Structure 1
Amino acid sequence: MLDPVINFFSRIFYLIGRGIGYAVGIVLWPFLWAGRWYTQRGWILKTVVGAFVILWIGLYGYFFWVTQVWTNFNPDYVAAYNFEKREVAAGEPVPAQAADAAPKSCARSAVVEVTADLTDFNVNQNAWISSMLLFKLGFFGISWDDTPFLDNKAAFQRGINSAVRRTGVELVDTLGRVRGTSQIDGDLQKARGNLQFTEDAWYFGLNPFGPKTPTPSYYRSAVKDLRSFNSKLETCNAIFDARADNLIQFIDRIANDIGATSAILKDRSENNNYGWFDTRADDRFWFAYGQLYAYYGLMNAAQVDFKQVLQEKHLTPLWDGMDGQLRSALNIRPWIIANGSEGGWLLPNHLTTMGFYILRVRSNLIDIKQVLQQ
């Protein structure tokens, strides 16, 4: 009685096994053909081809390594600055009785310091992924951003860079000069220009055709320019205009920045909710994560630079609440990003979760802005 059933399932498993065998054969066929071709060549051609293959394997090995290893990644990186011990706002004279205070010494800008450090983290402590040759070539011509692997770090770095670029613009336009009418600081202006450089330039390009300076070189120059500005500020030879209206504008620009990211997450979540099979969900998520990672440090830095303004407006508790929301968002680090249906019960929707925290932070920023405007 059971023989027909056993034969049926045996046939099914046999066909499945043959199908898997055919699939593996198709995948391995190019390599087997290349191996046979290689063994039939002369030693000179073998040497050249072998060297090329070893070089290619080495490049991909290095590419895999730098995309998977996130050097000095630490959601609690703000703690290393000890901002709570800084008593003087940016650009203000350091009291003569303060320890190690030099004559005519002013406080450095924490915002400028964090901006420089975040850029240094992107291009010196880690390899800048977006301009690497193998990232630009993609996966058999398909952009890595359209695949579910090896693009998370690139998206995270671009998220940080988005926040850093926004800060660079504000430093030049308002924070680094008096009421926007005084002369623009040369170091800040150079830093802004370097930070605005395209994110994917390699040593050679097709449009325009010819050799180029790669992206990391420009960002490294921006780090030097920002630190040069802070050195001048420390000797009271530069300006950091820590007024309430400048803080209002800075907060407003950040709220708009993360608001745009929230809209991108919402659109992806609603129109491409394919669960684990949405190949763009991961880079959307990690771009947003990179933005919040950067703004967590920059907002803590702004709390130091605008210390007097916040104390006058009694904004410290509200600001601390915003910092707490930013830090809570950085706890969301799933192994696999899923873009499931918002009403589904099986797969999570990490984009919606991240969007929730972004909107909470944006709401806090708007509340702070309203208090500052009173």
Structure 2
Amino acid sequence: MLEPVVNFFSRIFTYIGRGIGFIVGILLWPFMWAGSWYTQRGFILKIVVGLALLLWLGLYGYFFYNTQAWTNFNPDYVASYNFKNQTAPAGEPLAAPAAAATTGTNVAKTCARSAIVTVTADLTDFNVNQNAWISSMLLYKLGFFGMDWDRTPFLDNKASFQRGINSAVRRTGIELVDTLGRVRGTSQIDGDLQKARGNLQFTEDAWYFGLNPFGPKTPTPSYYRSAVNDLRTFNTKLENCNAIFDARADNLIQFIDRIANDIGATSAILKDRSENHNNGWFDTRADDRFWFAYGQLYAYYGLMNAAQVDFRQVLDEKHLTPLWDGMDGQLRSALAIQPWIIANGSEGGWLLPNHLTTMGFYILRVRSNLIDIKQVLQQ
């Protein structure tokens, strides 16, 4: 009596096996055809095609490695700066060493470097020197068989993360030029900060050659590396008391306000994606949205800790340290979210998580803290 049942399942598995074989055959056919074509060619053509194939494999191997290797990525990178022990606000004269004061030795006057400028330069250095800048790599620009990598579920996370950092760095560069790096209305713009801002604003996807306009170009990482040097040059001048860092309360209010607006816009992008494209693990744009927001918060985590040093006097006068530390904790909590696969499930669903909503929650908490700090500063 079991023989018909056994025969039925045998036929089912036979058909399944044939189906799998058919699909594998379709996938392997182009390679089999290419192999057959290659063996029938002449010696010189074989060498040319072989070298081209090796170059192609080498480029993709290099591209794959750089998209997967996140060198020196560390959510706790702020600890390496030891900001808690830096008590002098940016630009303020530093006390002479005790030994020099005892012996009466003349020591050159020095001022405190800007922690904001230091972190801005280091984040850019992290993007383009410690790691390869993905967005301007040739294979990233060519896409996946012509499809934008951001529209695929793989190899685009690091590029989005880097662009998120760069978004925060660009915003900071603008504020350094317009307000923080000069006495507003009474001093000229610092030349090094001006150059740094211009270099940081350069397009994110330039390669060595472009079509619009047609011709050779300077790639994006070169501009960003120049910005790093410009920022560090400014900090050296500041240390030598030859530059200005205007750590006034109204400048801090504007800086905080711009950051709140910046992450607020990111929150709106996450909300739109979450509500209108909640396809779970099959939303191929959810990952780049998530990692862009993560990169932004990664950068602002360091920049807000740096601002606490540069504006220490203002924060102490307003007794803002506890509120600022609360914001700092929210930023660090957001960086603890590092899922292997980004899911954009329904907000009311029970099976799939919604990582965009989770990240948006932390962004709004940080933004709320920024608004609270701003209101206290305005009192």
Shorter-chain TM-score range: over 0.9
Correspondence for 2:244 = 239
Do the aligned partners of 1:67 and 1:150 also contact (CA within 8 Å) in 2? yes
CA–CA separation in structure 2 for the residues paired with 1:49 and 1:175 = 57
Structure 2 SS opposite 1:87 = coil
Q: CA deviation at 1:106?
A: 0.4
Correspondence for 1:119 = 124
Match of 1:72, as an amino acid? Answer: N
Is 1:364 equivalent to 2:364 in the alignment? no
Q: CA deviation at 1:23?
A: 1.0
Q: Give the 5 Å matches for 1:1-374.
A: 1-97=1-97, 102-374=107-379
Structure 1 SS opposite 2:215 = strand
Do the aligned partners of 1:173 and 1:180 also contact (CA within 8 Å) in 2? no
CA–CA separation in structure 2 for the residues paired with 1:295 and 1:180 = 27
CA–CA separation in structure 1 for the residues paired with 2:207 and 2:133 = 11
For residues 116-171 of structure 1, the C-alpha deviation after alignment (integer angstroms, 9 at most, x for no partner) is 00000000000000000000001000111000000000000000000000000000
Structure 1 SS opposite 2:210 = strand
| Higher mean C-alpha displacement, 59-68 vs 91-100 | 91-100
Match of 1:268, as an amino acid? Answer: R
- Go from structure 1 to structure 2 and tell me whether the alpha carbon gap of 1:252 and 1:100 turns closer, same or farther (over 3 Å shift): farther
- Go from structure 1 to structure 2 and tell me whether the alpha carbon gap of 1:9 and 1:92 turns closer, same or farther (over 3 Å shift): same
CA–CA separation in structure 1 for the residues paired with 2:319 and 2:196 = 33
CA–CA separation in structure 2 for the residues paired with 1:252 and 1:59 = 43
CA–CA separation in structure 2 for the residues paired with 1:236 and 1:338 = 51
CA–CA separation in structure 2 for the residues paired with 1:180 and 1:368 = 25
- Go from structure 1 to structure 2 and tell me whether the alpha carbon gap of 1:180 and 1:209 turns closer, same or farther (over 3 Å shift): same
For residues 167-221 of structure 1, the C-alpha deviation after alignment (integer angstroms, 9 at most, x for no partner) is 0000000000102441000000000000000000000000011100000000000
Structure 2 SS opposite 1:332 = coil
Match of 1:37, as an amino acid? Answer: W
Q: How many corresponding residue pairs?
A: 374
Q: CA deviation at 1:99?
A: 7.8
5+ long unaligned stretches in structure 1: none
Percent of matched pairs sharing the same residue: 86
| Higher mean C-alpha displacement, 289-298 vs 171-180 | 171-180
Q: CA deviation at 1:11?
A: 2.0
Structure 1 SS opposite 2:346 = coil
CA–CA separation in structure 2 for the residues paired with 1:279 and 1:91 = 47
Q: Normalising by structure 1, report the TM-score.
A: 0.98
Do the aligned partners of 1:201 and 1:213 also contact (CA within 8 Å) in 2? yes
Structure 2 SS opposite 1:265 = helix
CA–CA separation in structure 2 for the residues paired with 1:282 and 1:226 = 32
Structure 2 SS opposite 1:205 = strand
Q: CA deviation at 1:77?
A: 0.3
Structure 2 SS opposite 1:178 = coil
Match of 2:174, as an amino acid? Answer: V
Structure 2 SS opposite 1:288 = helix
Match of 2:375, as an amino acid? Answer: Q
CA–CA separation in structure 2 for the residues paired with 1:143 and 1:274 = 19
Structure 2 SS opposite 1:210 = strand
Match of 1:20, as an amino acid? Answer: I
Do the aligned partners of 1:163 and 1:294 also contact (CA within 8 Å) in 2? yes
Q: Normalising by structure 2, report the TM-score.
A: 0.97
RMSD of aligned residue pairs (Cα, Å): 1.2
Do the aligned partners of 1:174 and 1:180 also contact (CA within 8 Å) in 2? no
Structure 1 SS opposite 2:269 = helix
